[in-house]
Chain A
């Protein structure tokens, strides 16, 4: 009892003395209270933190004040702001700390003396107790908002040496809840800002990587933007090529040497790890723990945390994205979650550009091959045509000369030379026309054409052949045909092609019929025969180039393909109806007024 009374008297005396001599302290306390009332509109977290710790130190006459808040990258609480004499502002309240757990689960303040009294805290390790002693923590005050801990204020001992008294606790009880709310709001505000910024960067990143299909541009954009997004010191993309690795792009702060960033051997172990485990590897603090000895050189250059983010495509990791920072624990859950969200986009973008590049290269190679082939054919055709023309002309002159002079040179021979040369000339013309169609350089010469006359002329030209096989050929045009605007030469070419085929595939004594009619604004022409017919499975194939079908080795196999192209160039279509053993009917349509634009559209499709 006596002890209690003397203790109380002593305290009261101290309070009076303090109150008398420290009028400034009263002012600070008032300031602290006012600050806590106005604090809710403050969104600047740093200002809020520094001003709070300053006023706490002054108002409560504590030797020091620390404000601890949740770390960005983990659940630990780290010092955001400190005022007064702090031996160490590197104090961390670990997420599994008993003190932190107690503060979360209980309301009320935690004086250091109570750590030896509260049963749960009696298990504090000697190391933790030493840390608290070193940082001068005397009173731990939880800042709670809606039941969750948004911060912890740690007050050092009072400068007077006395313990914190009831008036101090009263002040703290009224001020701290407001500080807690404001802190939570400031964090929320900051988080929103950060999210917005992140969203902007992610959008920019997405735009950048999808706006270009150039693989180098995409790589460089990725490393640059992600380095900025993640506030990293170094960002590298390493591609897996077969058994080896290749650095595709990197972006670094000046303090990171280029040679270091480019050293494949440095990244190899981490990349191998991600390949083996098929997941992201995070090295939170190389100073505390390193998985690979190679990472010592990173630490040597001040880089403390590393992330190896694998980029998968079709079940295989084709590249790794590596980020390094000088900050330990720089890549926590939030950062990793952002990275992993982006990784699929990055992987798709990188893979797409890679495939696009491959495809483009292949296409270029194919086009080059195509060009070479066409040039070759063109050259061959020209080389053959010139002597062929000369041969034909010579044969014709010779025939004439023999007739005039009465010399008997074998007429058959001369006729053979002439007809063979003619055939060769026709083949070469066909080939050239086919080539022109392939290279989209064939132009239609549209003119007004008497279709009936054109058909009759074409039939007349084939009569020698059909007569030789005793084939009957007839023209069936039931009503007068209007004049059509089309390329007469090509029309005749198409008809000749079909008639020659009909002649070829109709036996001796067979019948060939040519018919024509108008259907709407289209001319419908048909060449039918009583030949051997075409099996159903070949009916589509016969219009493809180089297809020989029933009689391989005869001709170039491009006649029907050429006919089809010419019909379609006019804007028409061609088809066949046939029954094996009963004959075939080749039909095609041509608009009565062929359109250059239609021809152009057809050419552009080739």
Chain B
């Protein structure tokens, strides 16, 4: 059980800000120093544990430089034999709780959280809530008793662990209540949430971007169904609801959630936030505040009150960065935060603190440094944005690469209404081609519209993909409408959890492609 954060009880805003957001004012040198101290403590904590010995070896590094030169980069495969079975005997410290990732690779990555690290994760989320709702430095609008609408997967998913931990530290009013949240289906949750919002309003929303969009759309639909006769049922909202309904009718626009509720902050976490944030903003009237966290690491980075780029927190993990040009090596060299350059991309490598097991761990994420300092806020730390998952990038050449965002943009620019898609590289004699499997929305199933020549150039560093690669680099296969839905249903029937249903759109595995083709071939398919 985590202790309540006494500062919130005392309502000392200045100290609350200093504790949770003070790191934004750290000079880069002190940031690095904090990281190095915590790393040395971490080495002391884990070096003698069986798992630590397996990764570090017999000798214990005595310095950061020695650590970086002796320990190779690791991936989950190095820990899987022990953590998949939740073996506590190999760990440095008995875990306080276990959490796991979304499972989109097809299996869960189990992560043991020590009490200190769990504490730190929750503190990170408190920081997120404060900064999400702050318009200027020092403003604290997150208080105990805040109404927080939740939408994430239950424990032991990391989202669920966060929700419960946060409630222990800063008790809030969960919508729906935490006690019943984990037992409800999605539909039930949305139903209850809608009613609770109508009854009492909401201060914060916390969930995954795609589901936030779904909730927004669902609420919009439900609001559309409301009549003036419902006004008396929700006395706290009467005036606002009446005004919104009138306006909606007069302007012939949909009634949106933002017309009724002023949300202080929408906190989400996910690599697809950029895709969904216009929709979320439109729905809720507030730009979502995206935090960068990973189950294996905890909280990694988050935007300041100015909401421009994300800033790393020094307390969660020791950060190293693999420059783009090193990524092809077996054991690439890394740089530290004080060595990154503006405009460049890096793959993140993290080493846990506080006795957690992951050392020099490649999460598989790529970030881009947008600026080294922010003149306006005077924050002297590098600002980054999340670019993509490392395994969701197709490298065409040294300077040419594709990620999900670029493909999505290309499809959107072509004007086709796409239901879903998957892309993979295929090898035919003497050539590598990109094969796009595309399911159109029913109404746009027109062959001419989707010829490769109509598919617009994919802007890659100012170049034209068609010119850079051999002729006909892109092959398109249209899938019959409903293919993806069948695919998801099939996976659900096999017992995959919700998050695991989400396909690998980029570098889609062959098994998935085969299944999609099989399902599509149940009906005639147009092939180009």
Q: Which residues of A contact B (CB under 8 A)?
A: 3-4, 98, 116-120, 122-123, 125-127
Contacts and interface: CB of A to CB of B under 8 A. Distances in A.
A491 to B, nearest CB: 90
B140 to A, nearest CB: 13
Nearest to B14: A117
A123 B9 CA distance: 24
A123 B116 contact: no
Question: Which among B9, B25, B30, B116 has the highest number of chain A CB atoms within 10 Å?
Answer: B30
A118 B17 CA distance: 10
Interface in B1-28: 7, 9-11, 15, 18-19, 22-23, 25-26
A119 B11 contact: no
B38 A118 contact: no
A117 B315 CA distance: 13
B26 A120 contact: yes
A347 B18 CA distance: 59
Contacts of B165: none
16 contacts: A3-B9, A3-B10, A3-B11, A4-B11, A98-B37, A116-B19, A117-B15, A117-B22, A118-B22, A119-B23, A119-B26, A120-B26, A120-B34, A122-B23, A123-B37, A127-B41
B38 A119 contact: no
B124 to A, nearest CB: 12
Interface string B29-42: 01000100110010
B49 to A, nearest CB: 16
A123 B18 CA distance: 14
A120 B18 CA distance: 11
B18 A125 contact: no
A119 B37 contact: no
B22 A119 contact: yes
A125 B37 contact: yes
Given A3-B9, A119-B26, A123-B37, 12 more contacts: A4-B11, A117-B7, A117-B15, A119-B22, A120-B30, A122-B19, A123-B34, A123-B38, A123-B314, A126-B41, A126-B116, A127-B41
Contacts of A123: 34, 37-38, 314-315
Contacts of B30: 120
A605 B381 CA distance: 85
Contact of A119 (B10, B18, B116): B18
Interface of B: 7, 9-11, 15, 18-19, 22-23, 25-26, 30, 34, 37-38, 41, 116, 314-315
The 9 lowest CB-CB distance pairs between A and B, nearest first, are: A119-B22, A117-B19, A123-B34, A125-B41, A119-B23, A123-B37, A117-B18, A123-B38, A117-B15
A126 B10 CA distance: 25
Contacts of B34: 119-120, 122-123
A127 B116 CA distance: 13
B157 to A, nearest CB: 27
B11 A118 contact: no
Contacts of B41: 125-127
Contacts of A3: 9-11
A1 to B, nearest CB: 9
A267 B456 CA distance: 82
Contacts of A127: 41
Contacts of B19: 116-117, 122
A3 B10 CA distance: 8
A571 to B, nearest CB: 81
A118 B18 contact: yes
Contacts of B314: 123
Contacts of A119: 18, 22-23, 25-26, 34
Question: Which among A98, A119, A120, A125 has the highest number of chain B CB atoms within 10 Å?
Answer: A119
Contacts of B11: 3-4
Question: Which among B10, B25, B41, B116 has the highest number of chain A CB atoms within 10 Å?
Answer: B41
Nearest to A96: B37
A143 B41 CA distance: 29
Contacts of B18: 117-119
A117 B15 CA distance: 7
A123 B41 CA distance: 10
A320 B11 CA distance: 66
A479 B458 CA distance: 132
A98 B315 CA distance: 15
Contacts of B37: 98, 123, 125
Nearest to B24: A119
A119 B315 CA distance: 9
Contacts of B23: 119, 122
Nearest to A113: B6
Contacts of B9: 3
Contacts of A120: 26, 30, 34
A122 B315 contact: yes
A119 B24 CA distance: 9
B432 to A, nearest CB: 48
A123 B40 CA distance: 11
Contacts of A98: 37
Nearest to B353: A123
B524 to A, nearest CB: 63
A123 B317 CA distance: 12
A127 B45 CA distance: 11
Nearest to B12: A117
B314 to A, nearest CB: 7
B18 to A, nearest CB: 5
Nearest to B23: A119
Nearest to A119: B22
Contacts of A126: 41, 116
Nearest to B45: A126
B428 to A, nearest CB: 55
A120 B31 CA distance: 8
Contacts of A118: 18, 22
Contacts of A116: 19
Nearest to B42: A125
B525 to A, nearest CB: 58
Question: Which among A3, A116, A117 has the highest number of chain B CB atoms within 10 Å?
Answer: A117
A123 B38 CA distance: 6
A127 B23 CA distance: 22
Nearest to A125: B41
A174 B378 CA distance: 35
B37 to A, nearest CB: 5
A449 B32 CA distance: 104
A48 to B, nearest CB: 35
B26 to A, nearest CB: 6
A422 to B, nearest CB: 95
A127 B19 CA distance: 21
A229 B26 CA distance: 47
A3 B315 CA distance: 32
A3 B116 CA distance: 30
Contacts of B116: 126
